[in-house]
Each structure stands twice: as structure tokens, then as C-alpha cells.
Amino acid sequence: MKLTDLGRQRRIGANSLLAEIGPFRVLIDAGLDPKSVGRDSTPNFDLLGAGPLDLVVLTHCHLDHLGSLPIVCREHPEALYVSSRASQMLAQRMLRNSVNVMKRQRDELHNSDLPLYTFNEVDQVDRALLGMAFGQSRKIERDGEELVFTLHRAGHIAGAVGVSFVYKHRRIFFTGDVMFGPQATLDGADFPLEQTDTLVMETTRGAKGRVPDRSRESEVERLISTIAHTVSRGGCVLIPVFALGRMQELLHLLQEARQRGQLPECPVFCTGLGMDIVDYFDAITRKIGGLHFRRTVLKALKVQPPPPFKPGRSPGQGGIYLLSSGMMVEHTPSYHAAAAMLDDHANSICFVGYCDPETPGGELLATAHGDSFLFRVIDHATSVRAQIEQFDLSGHADRDELLQFARTLDPRTVALTHGDPEAREWFFDQLMDSNPKLQIHDLLPNEVVSM
């Protein structure tokens, strides 16, 4: 197999891998880099060359995996496009939102590349995508040869899959983004454990091990008690979340805590794309399975839209603000809410997932209590007076679990992707230690690796 990372950066950006397996050309994901805008945010599709694509696999609907799919679909109508059935439902909703965001950016940033695709092209993706069940296999043929592939449930978010290929008795496995354990609303990964020749794995959490004595349950408890304390002192709690997955998981956790009597009565504020995703998750729960989420949670928690935010002015009403984006990226509701809440001792900001160090969320986590923090795009500086906490409720596998999985498959070759350099280095060293004969490739942008 020849593997090419089409992403432009050696980190989690525009995820897209070209796998050339015998005569077959397969693309795994086509994302958008959340930290760039316009053409720079897409994978480098020039590396695809002129040849036809046989197959495009979408592992899940986070934009760093999905966001450029309409561009591929426009340029390669000949390919077979597949995803899980849940992703097939979610993809067009996520992509339509992406068109709206790009149109807004075009006006704000005067970037004439934008939008990179149209609503019509999103519809084209919707028509092209074939939804497959977990565990279902298909075969494609070219030049008298066969390639069999299977989608496997990956946990992480609703609809996420890893994908296995069998070509001439050789097995190749791509993890995609994976979480092995169950979440409150989602079953964990169900990956095959048979011997595999080549493993391509994500490395998101490689840089940091789990803190001892902190389980997922104890982290939920710590979060709920932080919220309860803040609300009882009349403060606001901001929880920055991804609109797809994290927001719904948190709604479910809040409702459970309320039912157990651990969460005092207080308003819950939500807005935007995540509220629409609630309806999709309800439908996926009823029609497809693997997900355990019902939209009745909105009524039970009396969820309402937040008031407008003004920098430096804490919202008049205490309560829980569950807002995207998860990394508090500029121009998003969580960014504006933080600018309103940060300089008041009564408030708390609770991060529940990974924050890239170069995003406002990552910068805030690195700022000491009492130090000054600048909200650059709105030119608002303030001291950090609110309580800032981070909770380990990630949707990605612990590094030790992922390492154990890699050892179980006993591959001859491993390719590392989807992680910061330190995260990849940890996996590289650990895998090398356990099997010095193993071939390990740290995938670099624009490099073709033969394996």
C-alpha cells in the first residue's frame, strides 16, 4: 500500500488520507482545518493527481474529517462514497452549516475563495453517500482484482467508524477517531481484534496519560459539583462544547444529575447547530441504534436560548450555558459568553474536551488566575477572575487503551496520524519498545509512504 497524508500540517487539521491498495485508489476522509480559512483550510487535493478514485470513506461527521467532501464529490463523481447510516443522516446538516459559516467569513474577511462549495454541492454529497450498517462489508473490483472493506463502530461520536480492508489476504485497518469505552449516550468501539498487516491509527491523546484515580464517573461528579457550587453562589457556568456529540452528551449528563437531585434548579441555555443535532440524534436513537439520546431532555431541563452577551458584563441570570465551540474559537457563542463572564469571581468556565493550545480555549487554560486575558477579535482585555476548570470527558481513547489495541493487532507496519508531534512521538517510542522489528511511519504532509 502507498499512503499519502493530504493534510497540510502535522497535527489535527484537514484530515484526508489517500490509500493506494494494489490498483485501487481510496480516500479516507476529506476534512477542513478549523484553524485556517479558505483554500488553506482544505487538504492538498493536487496530490490526488488526475487518476480516478474508486472509493471515498467518511469515518465521521466532525468537520476536520467531513468539511471538504463536497469538493471531492465535485471533482470525482466516479467514486463510490460510503459512511455509516448515522453519518449519512448527519453529513448534509453539518455541511449546510459549513456553507453558512463560509458565507459569513467571506463578508467579514473579504476572502473571495469562500464559500468553497454551495448548497447544491452539499445536496450532491447527500445523494452520493451510501449509508452502511456497522459490520457490513462490500466488495469493489478493478482490473480483475477485488478489494473488500468493512465499517466498524468506533465510539467517539454517533456514526463514527473505523474501516478495514482485505486485499489479497492482507488486512489493513484505519481506526479513524476512536473511543473504546462507552459514553453516557453512546456505545464504545467494536473493532475486530484479528491479526492485521497494516494499522493506521489516530494519536490524539498520546501526549498525556490519564490522571490516576480519575475515572470518567469521578470526572462527571466533579463537573456536576462545580456546576452546583457555582449556581448556588448565583454565578454562571459556561461549558464550551462541540455542537456535534459533546453538547448532547452533556445535556444527557445534566438531566441525569438533576434526576439524582445533585443539580439545583437553574436555567440551561443552548443555541445554534447543536440544538438541530438534538433532533437528528433522537432519530438515530429510534431508527438506527448504538446511541441513547432522546430530545425530551430539552423539555426536562427547560432549555432556552441565551441572552445577548456584552464583553465585561456577566449575564444577569445565573445558570448553565452550554455553547459551541468547544475550543472557544473566535466569533462563536462560547467565545462571546467567556468575554462576558471571565472577570466575575462568581462564574465558572468548565472545559470538557481537548483544546488546541493555539485556540482561545487553549490560551485561557494556560493563563493563571488573576492574569490578564485578551479577547483579540473584539479587543477586550480582562483579568481571569472566574474559576477555570478542565474535566477529562474526552471522546477519544486513552493512549494506553489505544496502545493495547495496536499491540493486540500485532501489525508489521503502523502509520501514526491525527495528533500533535509529541502525541505521535509517545506512540512511536512505546510501539518501538514493544517490537523493535515493527515498521512505524509518522505520516508527514505531502509525503508518499510505501508500506
Q: CB neighbours (10 Å) of residue 77?
A: 12
Nearest distance from residue 416's CB to Zn ion, in Å?
A: 14
**Distance, CA of 161 to CA of 87 (rounded, Å):** 9
**385: exposed, middle or buried (C-beta count within 10 Å: 0-12, 13-18, 19+)?**
middle
Tell which positions 214-273 bind Zn ion, by CB under 5 A. none
Q: How many residues bind Zn ion (CB under 5 A)?
A: 3
**Distance, CA of 246 to CA of 351 (rounded, Å):** 11
**Distance, CA of 58 to CA of 15 (rounded, Å):** 11
Q: CB neighbours (10 Å) of residue 219?
A: 18
Task: Please count the CA atoms within 13 angstroms of the CA of 164 that sit on its side-chain side.
Answer: 21
Nearest distance from residue 154's CB to Zn ion, in Å?
A: 9
Nearest distance from residue 31's CB to Zn ion, in Å?
A: 7
Stretch that binds Zn ion, among 131-139, 169-177, 191-199, 313-321 (CB under 5 A): 169-177
Contact 326, 241 (CB under 8 A): yes
**Residue number, nearest CB to Zn ion:** 62
Stretch that binds Zn ion, among 175-183, 284-292, 306-314, 334-342 (CB under 5 A): 175-183
Stretch that binds Zn ion, among 3-11, 177-185, 322-330, 424-432 (CB under 5 A): 177-185
Taking CB under 5 A as the rule, does residue 396 contact Zn ion? Answer: no
Cell of 38: 479558505
For Zn ion, the closer of residues 64 and 389 by Cβ is: 64
For Zn ion, the closer of residues 16 and 332 by Cβ is: 16
Nearest distance from residue 259's CB to Zn ion, in Å?
A: 29
Stretch that binds Zn ion, among 55-63, 184-192, 275-283, 306-314 (CB under 5 A): 55-63
For Zn ion, the closer of residues 33 and 177 by Cβ is: 177
Nearest distance from residue 443's CB to Zn ion, in Å?
A: 14
Task: Please count the CA atoms within 13 angstroms of the CA of 121 that sit on its side-chain side.
Answer: 18
Contact residue for Zn ion among 177, 389, 401, 420 (CB under 5 A) = 177
Taking CB under 5 A as the rule, does residue 62 contact Zn ion? Answer: yes
For Zn ion, the closer of residues 16 and 382 by Cβ is: 16
Cβ partners under 8 Å of residue 134, min gap 6: 84, 151, 152, 153, 161, 190, 290
For Zn ion, the closer of residues 257 and 291 by Cβ is: 291
Nearest distance from residue 84's CB to Zn ion, in Å?
A: 13
Cα–Cα distances (Å) from 423 to 11, 94, 107, 207, 451, in that order, read: 9, 28, 37, 4, 22
Q: Residue 323: enclosing H or E segment and its boundaries?
A: strand 319-323
For Zn ion, the closer of residues 64 and 442 by Cβ is: 64
Tell which positions 120-139 bind Zn ion, by CB under 5 A. none
For Zn ion, the closer of residues 328 and 342 by Cβ is: 328
Nearest distance from residue 60's CB to Zn ion, in Å?
A: 6
Contact 236, 314 (CB under 8 A): yes
For Zn ion, the closer of residues 155 and 306 by Cβ is: 155
Classify 143 in phi/psi space as left (phi over 0), alpha (psi -120 to 50) or beta. left
Taking CB under 5 A as the rule, does residue 76 contact Zn ion? Answer: no
Nearest distance from residue 63's CB to Zn ion, in Å?
A: 9
Stretch that binds Zn ion, among 62-70, 179-187, 191-199, 363-371 (CB under 5 A): 62-70
**H-type alpha helices, 67-206:** 69-75, 85-109, 119-128
Cell of 441: 511511519
Nearest distance from residue 419's CB to Zn ion, in Å?
A: 10
For Zn ion, the closer of residues 186 and 231 by Cβ is: 186
For Zn ion, the closer of residues 94 and 231 by Cβ is: 94
Cell of 247: 453538547
Closest among 365, 364, 353, 334 to 391, alpha carbons compared: 353
Task: Name the residues that contact Zn ion, by CB under 5 A.
Answer: 62, 64, 177
